[in-house]
Amino acid sequence: KAGGTYVPVDPQYPGKRVEHIVRDSELSLIIGDAANLPKIPSLRVLALDELLSAPALQPAAEDTRIDPSNSTAYIIYTSGSTGEPKGVQVSHGNVSRLLESTQRAYGFNAQDVWSMFHSIGFDFSVWEIWGALAHGGQVAVVPYDVSRSPAALRQWLADQRITVLSQTPSAFRGLDEADRGNTAPLALRYVVFGGEALPASVLRPWVERHGDQKPALINMYGITEATVHTTFKRVLAQDLETAAMVSLGKPLDGWRLHLLDASLAPVAAGTTGELYIEGAGVAQGYLNREALNVERFVELPGAIRAYRTGDLMTLESNGEYSYAGRCDEQLKISGFRIEPGEIEASLQTSPSVAAAHVGVHDYGDGDLRLVAYVVPGQGVDAWTEQARSEVAALMAENLPEYMRPSVYVPLAELPVTHHGKIDKQQLPSPAADTTPSSAADVKGLSEQEHFVLKVWSEDLGLKNIGVNDDFFDSGGTSLALIRSLSKLKTHYKINLDPGILADGATAKVLADHISRSLVQAH
């Protein structure tokens, strides 16, 4: 109504990233919890408690000068290859068409309770918030500590009577495991997957217990620049019998997909081409990035405006699309699209790093982690645990959690091809990280501490993790933690939940908890 634009800012973002978003978007007002509001002198702030305690507010008068369908609804910042995040401008019309199209596919109603599981800075949140409100439903915000604990999330879903749950496959793995030991009835009508490729193996155990009807399992492909979701696939048990990966399905009504070659000519059915998206969801463009707009928001033959995704896909014989990788350097982890150039630029602001290359390593079963190959400024011998810790601290100041490397591998130089590009085939395995640990001495450890370290070293691919080293600082991910806890639960025959590590994710904390649980059990 007021014709305004909102810019979601996750309170967990580092201060420097928040400052860039505020400056780049020219924010005039920020609303939030008093404890989380940034201290920026030039910015007008409004605390939520003040807003809620204010006298009754009058509805905004509709501004007839504004075309609501073409005005910007929100700007979400995503990773940028130049070293700074870029803002994607999405219109009210884009969002309206998304909600109209998905309503025809789903049939949401006013009795639906949607979980808001994802960061407000991730475009899945647009779907979780406005998808509920547009149909008179309710939004239930998942508490942060609950979102980090699959067991707590499983119980929360039952307690809140959630009917619409959105998940990345990585997050759903932990929820599926927690579900096996919890019989509290669920009200789920839909579980919606997105953000990353969906292996059939993730869904098979769930379908064996719950079937494929209630909840219905939906796989959707999407990208921020095309307004959250682009395709729809209802997943049935038969789809999981032989396929390794779940299909992305067919485009939503109003979205059109083009698979093209380097000359912008359509590729033959069954062959791989780069995906260009046309239609209702194509965003307005990047804020203050005209050169990038020309590169990514393109005009196809026939004066068709489309977004060039960089994703490679194949159109199968059944009319459904399957994902086939990337045609550039962009990475995708836990639903987030990451430009490694932004991380590399941040790494090279440290005096300890002369050069850097960032890649991704698959630790198995979908556990993808960022790996930083660094050329230390003072030579490989100068790359100590202290140097690594200082660089990791700098990354925490500059980058959100999902963009921070899990593992650092020091190299004398980065291998290059004859064409001067990074030779990825010559990069060593992340398991070769030999950064000396400040706590590698294992003398005097308890049996539980020894076993936790053994499991963690296997899951992290590190041989020298210490009893007081933080699991996440050492390269661990939520998925790796869930996997390691599962091994420990099986070995000790006790219940373990990630929440026990809320105050410190170290082997000592976990081993002490195991010891207490064993005493109580006997």
Over 351-372, what HEC string results?
CCEEEEEEEEEECCCCCEEEEE
Please give the pLDDT value at position 432: 45
**Per-residue pLDDT reduced to its tens digit, 466-480:** 888 888 777 677 777
C-alpha–C-alpha distance, residues 131 and 103, integer Å: 9
The helix-helix angle for 385-398 and 15-25 (nearest 10°) equals 30
Average pLDDT over residues 277-304: 95
Structure-token match 């400040």, residue found: 438
The sign of the dihedral angle between the CA atoms of 291, 292, 293, 299 is positive
Residues present in the chain in total? 522
C-beta separation of 122 from 470 below 8 A: no
CB 500 within 8 A of CB 513: yes
CA quadruple 161, 166, 168, 169: dihedral sign: positive
Dump pLDDT digits (tens) for 213-242. Answer: 999 999 999 999 999 999 999 999 999 998
- Rounded Cα–Cα distance for residues 229 and 219 (Å): 10
Percentage of the chain lying above the pLDDT 70 cut: 92
First to last CA, the chain: 64
Angle at 358 between CA 356 and CA 359, to 5 degrees: 145
Residue 44, Cβ density class (10 Å: 0-12 exposed, 13-18 middle, ≥19 buried): exposed
* Entry pTM: 0.79
Does residue 498 surpass a pLDDT of 90?
no
**CA dist., res. 383 & res. 434, Å (int):** 9
In terms of average pLDDT, the best of 38-52, 221-235, 370-384, 503-517 is 221-235
pLDDT(370) > 80? yes
pLDDT at position 35, please?
A: 79
Residue 30 has pLDDT above 80, yes or no: yes
The DSSP annotation for 444-489 comes to: T--HHHHHHHHHHHHHHT-S---TTSBTTTTT--HHHHHHHHHHHH
Are 370 and 333 in contact, with CB atoms under 8 Å apart?
Answer: yes
Q: Which two tokens stand for residue 264?
A: 């912008």
What confidence score (pLDDT) does residue 440 get? 44
Q: What is the pLDDT of residue 438?
A: 46
Q: How far is CA 151 from CA 23, 431, 456, in A?
A: 40, 30, 21
d(CA 320, CA 177): 30
Give whole-number Cα distances, 146 to 118, 396, 494, 495, in Å: 12, 23, 21, 17
Collapsing DSSP states into helix, strand and coil, what is residue 63? coil
- Of residues 379 and 88, more confidence is placed in 88
> Are the beta carbons of 179 and 157 closer than 8 angstroms?
no
Q: 240-249, 263-272, 362-371: which has the minimum mean pLDDT?
A: 362-371
User: Cβ of 197: how many Cβ atoms within 10 Å?
Assistant: 18
Flag whether pLDDT at 504 surpasses 70.
yes
Q: Say whether 297 sits in a helix, a strand or coil.
A: strand
**What's 84-135 look like in SS3?**
CCEEEEEEHHHHHHHHHHHHHHHCCCCCCEEEECCCCCCCHHHHHHHHHHCC
CA distance readout (Å), 368 to 356, 371, 460, 480: 19, 10, 11, 9
Per-residue pLDDT, 418: 65
Q: What b/e readout covers 229-241, taking b as 16+ CB neighbours within 10 angstroms?
A: bbbbbebeeebbe
Q: What is the dihedral of CA 49, 51, 56, 62, to 10 degrees?
A: -150
Domains with residue ranges and CATH for the chain: 1-66 (no CATH), 67-326 (3.40.50.12780), 339-432 (3.30.300.30), 447-521 (1.10.1200.10)
d(CA 366, CA 388): 26
DSSP letter at 381? Answer: G
Amino acid in the structure at residue 31: I
Higher pLDDT, 274 or 63: 274
Residue scoring higher pLDDT (229 or 29): 229
Q: What's the CA angle centered on 127, arms 126 and 129, to 5 degrees?
A: 65
Q: What is the pLDDT of residue 147?
A: 87
* Token code pair at residue 37: 């509001």
Instruction: Write the CB contacts of 476 (distance below 8 Å, at least 6 apart in sequence).
Output: 406, 456, 459, 460, 505
pLDDT at 295 over 80: yes
pLDDT digits (tens, 9 = 90+) for 171-180: 898 899 899 9
Tell me, what's the pLDDT at 42?
A: 75
Neighbours of 381 (CB within 10 A): 9
Amino acid of residue 97: R
Give yes or no for residue 266 having a pLDDT over 70: yes
- Classify strands 138-141 and 304-315 as parallel, antiparallel or unpaired: unpaired
Question: What is the pLDDT, as a whole number, of residue 258?
Answer: 97
Q: Find the helix packing angle between 169-179 and 150-159, rounded to 10°.
A: 80
Q: Which amino acid belongs to residue 4? A: G
The H or E element that residue 291 is part of is helix 290-296
pLDDT of the residue at 365: 67
- pLDDT on residue 11: 86
Task: Indicate whether 442 pLDDT > 60.
Answer: no
Contacts of 107 (CB under 8 A, 6+ apart): none
37: amino acid identity, one letter: L
Q: How confident is the model at residue 416 (pLDDT cuts 50, 70, 90)?
A: confident
pLDDT given for residue 50 in this prediction: 83
